Structure 1
Amino acid sequence: MKNFILASALGSLLSLPAIAAPSLSDSMDLNQYRTDVKTLASDAFGGRAPLSEGEQLTIEYLEKAFKEMGLKPGFGDSYLQAVPLAKITADQNMQLDIGGLKFANGSEFTARTQRITDKVNLNNSDVVFVGYGINAPEYGWNDYQGLNVKGKTVIVLVNDPGFATQDPKVFKGNAMTYYGRWTYKYEEAARQGAEAVFIVHETEPAAYGWGVVQNSNTGTKFTLIDANNNQGQVGVMGWVQHNVAQKIFAKAGMDFDTLKQQAAKPHFKAIPLKLKATVSLNNHIERAESHNVAALLPGKSRPDEVVMMHAHWDHLGTVIEDGKPEIINGAVDNASGVAGVLALARYFTKQAQTAPLERSILFSAFTAEETGLIGAQHFAQHPSVPTKNIVAFLNIDGMNMNQGVDYILRYGEGVSELEGYLDNAAKAQGRVVKADPRPQNGLMFRSDHFALAQQGVPGLLFMSLGDTDPDYIAHKYHKGADDYDPNWSLEGVKQDLDLMASMLTTLANSKDWPHWLEASDFKAKREQDGRKK
């Protein structure tokens, strides 16, 4: 019955007349788009790390562009929203000791904290294997059942049991749920009182190699600051290599791979390893403000109703690779997306001179996405417009810089009515909508739209990282090779921006409010805001 209801809801949208895509690509200045990407991804911007000189250059570049278009500031009288961050730099001269086994930082484990403190000492902490570290009543699953992990170190598996079993009746089968995300693992362990968490890395269920973990966790990290200086979070947020986990479990007289298989079955009981964990984090803490950027194109008749068009502006900055500093410029991820937002802003600003939209469009670029959607979380908690008045949040996180294709990828299925809008826009282009080829990667939960979804705002992710460049994930994603390439054809960019322009036009001229389709906290929040079906 549920599948029939979802199909009917989407079918009603698909029955609407297809709206011809606006001719953004006919008027698009490709040279300007190239300039935007090349500039944002240049070494001069230093990889666009928050709280760096690269941030200042980036936000000045975006603010100048929005002013030149004649767009209004997105935050009252300012294009900038201050995001209070702590910049935490851990001394990388650390060593993890579990049961007398000593492991090297970076190559065998990573460890960091979001607590605002100069030192975190994990000293002879009891180690417990808690399977996937999931407490999900709706799935009848609780790895912490009857367990007290207060002050202890938990080892958990990445992803969720659905991926491990490939059984569609277990969680969502191959498609990752939020319970499979590393962010959830740390959040739940904190709720359970654990002092440290080490996630066992494996490339297939994690959806990225160890190099991504290393680059993302061994440099400077950023966090929002709560009223208690984040003391409620776990002290040590860690990862270990698969072979490290095997050694640890062998030391405890157990076989890791056997227990991993058992952990994918319901009612798995956590196993104390009877080993102690010790590691010290010595942190340098700086408090500073980063910035979200946004500009507003006011609507004609319903300006208080807002459609958002977004891309995160930040990347990883400079990291140490093989003992040498390397700038991670993030040309595709996500200078390409920011340049796309600028192109759409220029297009709609010109269109508004003769054909103004009924609703407003807020063009935005947030900070610190790469560190856990921090800028988006801050905006979601302190929005420039009430989230109940945000119609939809369209989010670019990497564009197709190569030749056009006859499809567009959809991330998530049966999640919200925005999928129907996507179907219509693709059909008008003679394209088809293809399901995410890697649902196990959990991309629904890995970009800025998710922070707004948690406030009830339906979102849609536009991402093209590996489907048109098979080499990207393996050798470029979050690595120094993600650089500007003058040989990009940009046909895919024009094609996808046309599609987004079509969706924005439809949403901004409609009186509809796209709804969530499946029962979720997102849907409940939206209905609390009065946006019921």
Structure 2
Amino acid sequence: MPRSSLRHQFFNYINGCAFAALSMFNLMAFADPKNQTVDLSSVAQNIKILASDAFEGRGPLTQGEQLTIEYLAQQYKKLGLKGANPNSVGSSPLGQYFQAVPIARIIPDQNMKLVIGDLSFTSGKDFTARTEHINNQITLNDSSLVFVGYGINAPEYQWNDYADIDVIGKTVIVLVNDPGFATQNPEIFTGNAMTYYGRWTYKYEEAARQGAKAVLVVHETAPAAYPWSVVESSNTGSKYTLVDSQQNTSKLPIMGWLKLAATEQIFKQSGLNYQELKQRALQADFKPVRLKQSANLTLKNIISHAISHNVIAKIEGNTYPNEYVLAGAHWDHFGTNKTSKGSIVYNGAVDNASGTAGTLEIARILMAKHKIKPFERSILFINFTAEETGLIGSEQFSKGDIIPTKNMVALVNIDGMNVLDKVDYILQYGDGLSEMEDYLVRATLAQQRRVKLDPRPQNGLFFRSDHFSLAKQGVPSLLFMSLGDTDPEYIANKYHKAEDDFSPTWSLGGVEQDIELMVDIIQTLTNSRDWPKWKMDSDFKTSREADLSK
């Protein structure tokens, strides 16, 4: 559909369905700044609009994207925020509110077979394989197999599974999670709480640095935190990736998973016992094991290219305008699935229309405060695209094309809000990571609430939302997420399902108290000379110190 037709549809929808609510929203933006409180009617209406069928599930690269990004840009503009992209995107008058995100869509051919020795494995059933290379065909031809334990190189933990082994051009088999989870020993890594070294994304990144051709991550439900069905559904269909000037050739050529039963067959064929080797891999002095077989695979891909968009707006600081405190939330969800029985719209009301509406409300409150007493630092509001398909929008933003990461003070990221009643706590994801946790404690105590540590640290949620793209570049971050913590039915019946719809019965008490808390943290940082630091030795800390020393 032409862009002009999309705009016509957009304005018809807004004018017909939400005129009264938006009028109230605009009036509130210019109400007495001294008495700014959370306007739950505006929050509710924004969630309702963003999670309506008219927005088609907010799928990237769809009509729903165009409606969503133009809606958000218009709301920021009405509030008085400026677009944060100095170079206008396209011919749209709202261009400065958009950041282009070049995306490649890669669909792996599922007719492939993984052949190892005398064994032949079926895609989806026994293994998965995909790539982020812009390459229509990648082949493993008698690629040597090496078991490298957890595939971790972590100097701060005195751990290197790649010591004294050359894996260039080889296929490595690695365990999921990290030794801390397997031992439940807090003296090993961080015990039950997953570190980034336990994430499958890290396994691929480190193997690429080591020069491997392919990685097969062994799936076991407990350390992975999800069943094989999640691996299969997440890796056998369309996947999206950013594209760099080298066509992503610096990334791992083949990113795979291997079912436990298939893994045990492979080790047995090589005269090895997988379970015994897995236990040996729990020792820091573990030595990689070369298997007798080699891997053969032909990965064919259908590749297409398109442009998606982040939405960016700012309140400009009065004293230090080039220093930015960031507030973010991803705007995307899973779009619409057309079936033989009709279209299914994945509206993503909680995940993450609620967080997106939260950024609009925080912007309204802070803009009103700014008009009374201008902030010293600038505040950037960013709504990321393609979070659900791999943190793609935030990865693009983290490159620093709009704002250098050394100018980013910290990020507050919302990925699903508590749309039900108020609670006496706030969840903290990660423990002992950065001084942003101290800001969280102070603001929470001011509300007479308490900080509650993530009840499922083994799931590694800190590493699975947009703030993590910035954290990898050294920017300290806080994640605000309430996906099922106050609603036991949410994960089982609504999370990433068509049932995640807006409900007029929501009290939004949790939204109110969490927005107030985030406003407190952002406002404090905006009028401070503090640069929150990383507490724990890590690549994040190293990146930050190097960035700020430039």
User: Which residue of 2 is the match for residue 493 of structure 1?
Assistant: 511
Over 3 Å counting, the alpha-carbon distance change for 1:91 and 1:33 in structure 2 is: farther
Who is 1:469 aligned against?
A: 487
For 2:41, the equivalent position in structure 1 comes to: 31
Cα offsets for 1:352-375 (capped at 9, x unmatched): 333432322111111222333222
Unaligned runs of at least 5 residues, structure 1: 1-21
Give the C-alpha shift of residue 84 in structure 1: 1.9
Deviation at 1:320?
A: 9.2
Deviation per residue, 1:231-283 (Å, 9 max, x gap): 23222111123333334334444433332222122222222332333333221
- Secondary structure of 2:374's counterpart equals coil
Find out whether 1:71 has 2:91 as its counterpart. no
Q: Quick check: 1:153 aligned with 2:163? A: no
Rate the CA distance shift 1:212–1:457 in 2: closer, same or farther, 3 A: same
What's the CA shift for 1:318? 5.2
- Are 1:25 and 1:494, in contact at CA under 8 Å, matched by a contact in 2? no
- Of 71, 76, 83, which residue of structure 1 is paired with 2:101? 83
Alignment CA distance shift 1:84-1:254 (3 Å): same
Match of 2:396 in 1: 378
Structure 2 residue matching 1:352: 3-state secondary structure: helix
Whether 1:59 and 2:77 are equivalent positions in the alignment is: no
| Range that drifts further, 406-415 or 85-94 | 85-94
Aligned to 1:6: none
Contact map agreement 1:216 1:316 (CA 8 A) in 2: no
Kindly state the Cα deviation for residue 88 of structure 1 after the two structures are TM-superposed: 1.3
> Contact between 1:212 and 1:478, CA under 8 Å: does it hold in 2?
no
- Mapped partners of 1:321, 1:245: distance in 2: 35
Question: The residue matched to 2:371 in structure 1 has which SS?
Answer: coil
> What is the distance in 2 between the residues matched to 1:279 and 1:328?
35
Which range moves more in the overlay, 347-356 or 133-142?
Answer: 347-356
1:441 has 2:441 as partner = no
Q: Distance in 2 between matches of 1:317 and 1:180?
A: 30
Q: Which structure would you say has the larger RCO, counting Cα contacts within 8 Å and 6 or more residues apart?
A: 1
Q: Which moved more, 1:27-36 or 1:174-183?
A: 27-36
Which of the residues 358, 363, 384 maps onto 1:366?
A: 384
Letter of the structure 2 residue corresponding to residue 170 of structure 1: I
In structure 2, the gaps of 5 or more residues are: 1-31, 89-95
- Aligned letter for 1:478? H
Instruction: Check whether the contact 2:34–2:369 (CA below 8 A) recurs between aligned residues.
Output: no
Aligned ranges for residues 306-317 of structure 1 at < 5 Å?
Answer: 306-317=324-335
Q: Which amino acid aligns with 1:223?
A: T
Helix, strand or coil for the counterpart of 1:311?
Answer: strand
Aligned partners of 2:486, 2:236: CA distance in 1, in Å? 30
C-alpha separation between the residues in 2 aligned to 1:332 and 1:251? 48
Do the aligned partners of residues 68 and 415 (structure 1) sit closer, same or farther apart at CA in structure 2, a change above 3 Å counting?
same
Report how far residue 303 of structure 1 moved. 2.4
Structure 2 vs 1, CA of residues 274 and 294 (structure 1 numbering), >3 Å: closer, same or farther? Answer: same
Amino acid aligned to 1:38: K
What is the TM-score when the length of structure 2 is the normalising length?
0.85
Letter of the 2:106 counterpart:
I
Q: Label 1:182 to 1:505 Cα distance change in 2 as closer, same or farther (>3 A).
A: same
Matched ranges for 1:205-216 at <5 A? 205-216=223-234
Residue pair 1:24, 1:347 contacting (<8 A) in 2 also? no
Q: Is the 8 A contact 1:408 1:434 kept in 2?
A: yes
Matched, 1:417 2:442: no
Residue 110 in structure 1 maps to residue 162 in structure 2: no
Bigger shift: 351-360 or 150-159?
Answer: 351-360
Task: Report the secondary structure of 1:353's partner residue.
Answer: helix
Amino acid at match of 2:74: K
1:163 aligns with 2:181: yes
Contact 2:312 2:382 (C-alpha < 8 Å) held by counterparts: yes
Q: Give the TM-score normalised by the residue count of structure 1.
A: 0.88
- The equivalent residue for 2:25 is none
**Distance verdict in 2 for CA 1:48–1:351, change over 3 Å:** same
> After alignment, is 523-532 or 371-380 more displaced?
523-532
- C-alpha deviation, 1:75, in angstroms: 1.0
Label 1:432 to 1:476 Cα distance change in 2 as closer, same or farther (>3 A): same
Q: Is the 8 A contact 2:36 2:365 kept in 1?
A: no
Q: Bigger shift: 411-420 or 33-42?
A: 33-42
Q: Distance in 1 between matches of 2:137 and 2:489?
A: 40
| 1:40 corresponds to 2:50 | yes
Counterpart CA distance in 2 for 1:53 and 1:25 is 38
The 3 A distance-change label for structure 1 pair 230 and 322 is farther
**One-letter amino acid of the counterpart of residue 248, structure 2:** N
RMSD of equivalent CA atoms: 2.8
Letter in 2 for 1:51: L
Alignment partners' CA distance in 2, 1:248 and 1:65: 56
Aligned pair in 2 of structure 1 residues 227, 383: CA closer, same or farther (>3 Å)? closer
1:234 is aligned to 252
1:116 Cα deviation (Å)?
0.2
Q: 2:228 corresponds to which letter in structure 1?
A: W
Matched-pair identity in %:
58
Name the CA distance, whole Å, in 1 between partners of 2:222 and 2:469: 25
**2:33/2:372 contact within 8 Å kept:** no
CA deviations 1:298-318 (Å, max 9, x no partner) are 223332222110012223445
Q: Deviations over 1:168-203 (max 9, x none)?
A: 221122222221111110111112222211112223
Distance of aligned partners of 1:493 and 1:90 in 2 relative to their CA distance in 1, 3 Å threshold: same
Pairwise CA distance, 1:499 = 0.8
For 2:292, give the aligned amino acid: K
The count of aligned residue pairs is 511
The reply on whether 1:125 has 2:157 as its aligned counterpart is no
Tell me what 2:215 maps to: 197
Aligned with 1:339 (options 347, 354, 357): 357
- 1:32 deviation in Å? 3.0
